[in-house]
Amino acid sequence: MTAELGHFALTLALGLSLMQCAVPFWGARAGDPVLMGLAAPVALSVFGLIALAFGALVVAHVGSDFSVLNVVENSHTTKPLLYKITGVWGNHEGSMLLWIVILAIFGALVALSDSLSLRLKTNALAVQAAITIAFLVFILFSSNPFERVDPAPAEGQDLNPVLQDLGLAIHPPLLYLGYVGFSMTFALAIAALIEGRIDAGWARAARPWALLAWCFLTLGIAMGSYWAYYELGWGGFWFWDPVENASLMPWLAGTALLHSIVVMEKRDALKVWTILLAILTFSLSLLGTFLVRSGVLTSVHAFAVDPARGTFILVILSVFIGGSLALFAWRAPLLRPGGIFAPISREGALILNNLLLASACATVFIGTLYPLALEAVAGAKISVGAPYYDLTFVPLIVPLLLVLPIGQALSWKRGDLLAVGQRLLAALAAALCVTLALIAWRSGGPVMAPIGVGLGAYLVLAAASEIWSRSHQPGRPLAVALRRARGLPLSAWGSAVAHGGVGLMVIGIAAQGWSTETIATARPGSAIEVGGYRVEFRDLGSRVGPNYREEVATLVIGGSSAPVAVVESGKRFFPARATTTTEAGIATLGLSQVYVSLGETYPDGSVGFRLYHKPLVLLIWIGALVMAAGGALSLADRRVRIGAAVRARPVSAAVPAE
C-alpha cells in the first residue's frame, strides 16, 4: 500500500496545484482578496502531499520493497542503510521526485513569508504552481517512481557503485536546492511582469531568494567537484564535462543576477536586465535538467535514456522559456528607466561585472551545446575540452577578477577611481611581491601559476582592505576600528567574505600548475617518488564489504626525515552490478594532498599506480565554502532577509553648551 499511497499523494498534489495556479491568479485579476488568500494554504497542502509521496518512496527503498520497479532497479538487500536512503534520488525517477519536493519546499516558504505584497505573492505562487504542474505531469505519466512489478523478484539489481558514496547524500540535494531555488526569482519576475510593477521593492523581495539559491548552488557544485575528485580516481577537480557545465551556467547567470539585483535595489536601475537575468538563470537550470535527464548525454549523472522522456522535458523547457521570454518581450518596453549614474561608479562596475559574467556564460553555453547540435544536424561527433575554455572562458574571467575589488570600493552614483586605486595600492603591491617571490622560487616552472596565485592573493587582501577602510579612521586607536568593524552591516561582511573566497579558490586552481603526476609499477617494499615525497608500497591485501569485495594497497608516505601519512588505495568489485570502482588513497598534508590511485595487478606480483601531488588543492573547495558563507552572512542581514531597514536607535538629546 505504500507505493499506492505515494502515487495517490502525487495525483492529489497535481489537482491542488491546478487550483493553486488558476483560482488565486483569477482572484488577483479580479481584485478578490478571498481568492488570492487561497494561494498560501493550497501551496502548503501541495508541499505536504509531495513530502508524503517522497516519504513513501524512502520507505519502499529502506524496506527493500521489490514489488516497486524503482527499488528493484536501484537497490539490494545487502546495500548499507545510508545508500538505501540516498539511492532514492540516485536514479531518474527518484531524482525528479526530489526536484519536485524541493520545488514544493520553496513554494511553502513563499506561502509562509510575510515580506511580499498579497498580489505579488499570489502571482508568484501561481507561477510556481504552473512549474509544479508540468513536472508532476511528467513524473506521473512518464517517470512514475511507484510503478509496480509483478511478480516481485527476490533481489534487486543494486545501485550504480559509483553512486554508493556519501557524496550522493550531499551533492544532489544541494545542487537541486540551487537549481530549484532560482525558480522563485523566476516566479517573482514573471509575477512582476504580469502585474506591470517592477521597482526597488521587487528587488528587495527577490534578493533573499537569489542569495539562498546561489549559496546552495555554490555548495552543490563544490561538493560535486570534490566527489568526482576522490571517487572517480582521475585526480581532477573539473573536466568541462557537459553535465558539469550544466550546473556552471546557471551559477554564472545567478551570480550576475545577484549583482544586478543590488543595483536595482540601491539605484532603481537595470530593471529590464535584472528581470531578463532572473528568467535566463532558471531557464539555464531547466536546460541542465534537460541535458541530464533527456538521454542526450552519457554520464554517471544521466539516468534517463528514454527518448520519450527527453521529448517531454523539451516541451516543458520550450513552454516555460519561450513563454517567459515572450511575456518579457511584451512587457519590458513598458518599464520606465531607473536612476542615472556616472560610468565610473559602483553601478558602472557592476554592469561591467554583469557583461563579463554573461559573456563567460555564453562561451560555456556554446561549448556545451555546439557538439550536441552538430551531431544532431550533421551526424559528426566532436569534443570541446579545456583548450577551448582556456581560450574563451579564462580571458573573460581574469579581467572580471581584476576589477572586482575596484567595483567593490567605488561609491554609488559617482566614484573616484584615483582614491580607490590608492586604497588598493597596498593589496596590489603585496600581491605583486607574492607573484615575484613565487616566480623566483619556482624558476623554470609554469609562468601562469605564480601570476594566478598573485591574483588570488590580491582578491583576498583587497577584501580585507575593504573592511579595514570602512572601519579604520586615521588617528583613532585599533580598538575603535574593531568596534566599527563589528558594527558594519552583515551584508558588507558577506560581500567581503565571498570575494575573499573567490581569491582562495583562484589560489587553489592556479597552484595546480605545480602539480606533479607519476605513473609507475611497484612491488611490496619498493618506493615511488612524487612531488618531493617518497611513497612506499607496503602490501596488497583484500577484504569483503557489505555488498562488495575489495583489493587494497597500503602505502606509507614519507617526508624528508619520517613518515607523514599512511593511505589505502583500492579497487572494489560489486557482484550485483559486475562493476569495479577505484577508491583513491588521499593523504592531506596541510592544504596540499598526495593522491594515489590503484591500477592493474600483474602476473609478476607488481602493481600499477598513478600518483599525484596536488599543492594547495584544498583551497579550491575551502574557497567555495567561504563564498557560500559570505552569501549566508549577507542573507543573515535583516535588511536583506525581509527586505526592510532596521529601525534606527533613538539619538539622545544633545547636551547644551555651557
pLDDT digits (tens, 9 = 90+) for 367-407: 999 988 888 788 888 888 899 999 999 999 999 999 999 98
pLDDT digits (tens, 9 = 90+) for 16-37: 999 999 999 999 999 999 999 9
Torsion sign across C-alpha atoms 124, 126, 127, 128: positive
pLDDT for 314 equals: 85
Among 25, 221, 200, CA closest to 130: 25
Q: What phi and psi values does residue 535 have, to the nearest 5 degrees?
A: -105, 110
pLDDT for 233 equals: 75
507-530: average pLDDT: 94
> Would residue 219 count as lying in a domain?
no
DSSP assignment of 507-557: HHHHHGGG-EEEEEEE-TT-EEEETTEEEEEEEEEEEE-SS-EEEEEEEEE
- For the chain, the straight-line distance linking the first and the last C-alpha, in angstroms and rounded, comes to 86
- 254 CB neighbour count, 10 Å cutoff: 29
CA distances from 462 to 206, 592, 632 (A): 28, 24, 20
Cβ-based burial of 355 (10 A; exposed 0-12, middle 13-18, buried ≥19): middle
Q: Are residues 502 and 630 both part of a single domain? A: yes
> Would residue 392 count as lying in a domain?
no
- pLDDT tier, 236 (very low <50, low <70, confident <90, very high otherwise): confident
Among 181, 92, 178, 174, CA closest to 138: 92
> Would residue 491 count as lying in a domain?
yes
Q: Are residues 460 and 549 both part of a single domain? A: no
With a cut of 50, say whether residue 472 has pLDDT above it.
yes
**Distance from C-alpha of 194 to C-alpha of 658, rounded to nearest angstrom:** 62
Number of domains, the chain: 2
- pLDDT tier, 641 (very low <50, low <70, confident <90, very high otherwise): low
> Would residue 457 count as lying in a domain?
yes
Average pLDDT of the residues of the chain: 89
Contact 403, 349 (CB under 8 A): yes
Q: Are residues 549 and 520 both part of a single domain? A: yes
pLDDT for 107 equals: 95
pLDDT over 70 percentage in the chain: 94
Among 174, 291, 311, 314, CA closest to 244: 291
Cβ-based burial of 652 (10 A; exposed 0-12, middle 13-18, buried ≥19): exposed
Q: Are residues 458 and 530 both part of a single domain? A: no
Q: Are residues 509 and 520 both part of a single domain? A: no
Q: Are residues 474 and 558 both part of a single domain? A: no
> Would residue 166 count as lying in a domain?
no
Q: Are residues 529 and 498 both part of a single domain? A: no
509-521: average pLDDT: 94
> Would residue 472 count as lying in a domain?
yes
**Distance from C-alpha of 432 to C-alpha of 499, rounded to nearest angstrom:** 19
**Distance from C-alpha of 573 to C-alpha of 283, rounded to nearest angstrom:** 40
pLDDT for 1 equals: 79
> Would residue 265 count as lying in a domain?
no
Among 583, 532, 528, CA closest to 555: 528
pLDDT for 22 equals: 96
Q: Return the higher-pLDDT residue of 477 and 565.
A: 565
Q: Please name every residue paired with 516 in a beta bridge, in sequence order, or none if there are none.
A: 613
Q: Are residues 522 and 586 both part of a single domain? A: yes
Contact 459, 401 (CB under 8 A): yes
pLDDT for 652 equals: 39
Residue where the block lists cell 540551487: 178
Which domain, by its residues, includes 563?
516-614
Contact 324, 186 (CB under 8 A): yes
pLDDT for 124 equals: 96
- pLDDT tier, 105 (very low <50, low <70, confident <90, very high otherwise): very high
Q: Are residues 539 and 499 both part of a single domain? A: no
Q: Are residues 537 and 423 both part of a single domain? A: no
Q: Are residues 456 and 593 both part of a single domain? A: no
pLDDT for 642 equals: 57
> Would residue 530 count as lying in a domain?
yes
- pLDDT tier, 291 (very low <50, low <70, confident <90, very high otherwise): confident
With a cut of 50, say whether residue 645 has pLDDT above it.
no
**Distance from C-alpha of 595 to C-alpha of 600, rounded to nearest angstrom:** 17
CA distances from 427 to 293, 421, 466, 507, 527 (A): 46, 10, 10, 15, 44
DSSP assignment of 452-475: HHHHHHHHHHHHHHHHHHHH--TT
**Distance from C-alpha of 310 to C-alpha of 228, rounded to nearest angstrom:** 25
- pTM here is 0.93
66-70: average pLDDT: 95
pLDDT for 306 equals: 63
Q: Are residues 562 and 549 both part of a single domain? A: yes
